[in-house]
Chains A and B, each alone.
Chain A
Amino acid sequence: MGIPIPNSKLGMWLFLGTEIMFFTAFIGSYIVLRLGSNGWPTRYEDTHINVLLGGINTFVLIVSSYCVVVAHEAMAQKSFTKARMYLTVTLLLAVLFLGIKGIEYKGKIDHDILPGRIPETSSQAVVKVADQLKQLVLERFSVYTTSGVIENVVPENLTAMAPLVQALPTAARPEDLTDAEFEVYKASAGDDYALFEKWDNLQKHIVANVSLDYPALPVEYMASRAKLEDGAKPPELSLDEVKKYLGDIKKDGPHAALVSARVFDPHPIVYGNIFASSYFIMTGFHAIHVIVGMILFLAVLKQGSALNEKWTDFVENSGLYWHFVDLVWIFLFPMLYII
């Protein structure tokens, strides 16, 4: 005796059984984490979750599921041309789904809404500003090392690089550069050094955790502390003053346009990282399943006009798989986009 279905279909259902457990692990963990967290980012400004795009993708998958089931019906009726047509539409819809998902991913990557990169507290937000400023300084400094204007120093060695960049306007021209080329580097060196100073100042205040109005250099810092009464502490660095500090750089500081484009305003998002992890792991694995489904449909479509009834089981099983992919999205859409 045995289960009264073809072996291939039994195999597919057993596989889908494991898939149910696979996705329930993610979805169940997400529900548990969300219920256990004392808050969750839901505002568009925090998550860049676009309900409209999610809704369109839901519609796309529903249409594709309909097409697959009609394709299977056509195979059973030996209407192979019709089956090919509906499978082609399904394949195109899968491409559309991934395209829309790509747009959503790009929005999150552009805004650095990525696991482990989201500041959840004020202090983390301040550190992120300093990190992003440092990245710009490194990029600017590497211009001089890659062009040979400054030699024998790596840009990462900022303490060694900074005095060399500062001294560049009065430095001698390297032999392999023309006067015109060297003038360009000399002209940008002032702004680059000023940007370094801005970052360096912020970094020192972060390390000392004192207000930007308070000296952070060791000697001056100790002298100021000595003037305080016993038990008194210097004012701590606050998120608001860092926002203002960054705002001033973006307004008329060194490389204002570059800083405006590349350094985000400090914006703590409580539970942002666990949200981003959940979002990317669930939608990412779902997208991988969509790609696998596309490969299955391509295998059928590759037969072209030679498609025959031998492929009927394959189309049915691919269809079952595709409906499961749709089924997962049916739960991901409300949980990630609506609730």
Chain B
Amino acid sequence: MGSGRFDSPGENQRVFELKLAGKMSHDSHSTHHVNYLAIFFVLCGCTALSVVFDVLSMSKPVTMVLVLAVACAKALCVMMFFMHLKFEGNWKYVLLAPTTILAIGLPIALFPDIGSSYYTNAAPQVGVWADEVAEYEKQHAAELAAPAVEE
């Protein structure tokens, strides 16, 4: 049993539904006259381009930007044409925007802790560690010798 508002949709709700469905509400099994073969060749060309960027001796950051740009272009081709998102209604934004925001959130959350700090690959050896402890104690001798202040 509803409250009335949703049982008898008003003008606003119909407008919302139409907006959500988008101008081209997608019939699941309609054909869109997409030249899939052309998309396939574009994807192959992009893959070859990635390998060419690898072979060319460019600086690492430039290669990284170029190769990831090509990957994004390929991903867009697959999503728009093979996955038909180009022809889907506006529901695709409702469904995918929160996911994308959450997905981007993790790397952003990790970055200050890991990405911007150098982490050492080597576990400290016992001898080195002992030297470091001795050095620390030497530098902080005064603080270590002072009696602990009780709160």
Contacts and interface: CB of A to CB of B under 8 A. Distances in A.
A33 B67 CA distance: 19
B47 A13 contact: no
B83 A76 contact: no
B106 A338 contact: no
Contacts of B20: 1, 3-4
B119 interface: yes
B125 to A, nearest CB: 6
A65 B36 CA distance: 10
B40 interface: yes
B134 interface: no
Interface stretch (A17-25, A107-115, A244-252): A17-25
A6 B28 contact: yes
Contacts of B64: 339
A69 B50 contact: no
Contact of B91 (A4, A32, A38, A124): A4
Interface residues of A, number: 64
B67 A3 contact: no
Interface string B59-70: 010011001101
B67 A334 contact: yes
A208 B98 CA distance: 58
Contacts of B68: 334-335, 339
Given A51-B54, A338-B67, A339-B67, A36 B117 contact: yes
A261 to B, nearest CB: 29
A221 interface: no
A36 B102 contact: no
B114 to A, nearest CB: 5
B29 A323 contact: no
16 contacts: A13-B92, A14-B95, A20-B103, A28-B103, A33-B114, A36-B117, A37-B121, A38-B118, A65-B82, A69-B82, A73-B36, A312-B28, A312-B29, A316-B29, A333-B71, A338-B51
Please list the 10 inter-chain residue pairs (A to B) with the smallest Cβ-Cβ separation, ordered nearest first.
A28-B107, A24-B103, A76-B29, A17-B99, A32-B115, A334-B67, A66-B40, A3-B91, A338-B54, A36-B115
Given A59-B44, A334-B50, 19 more contacts: A4-B25, A5-B88, A28-B110, A29-B106, A32-B114, A36-B117, A66-B40, A69-B81, A120-B122, A124-B122, A312-B29, A313-B28, A320-B83, A323-B82, A324-B83, A327-B79, A333-B47, A339-B60, A339-B67
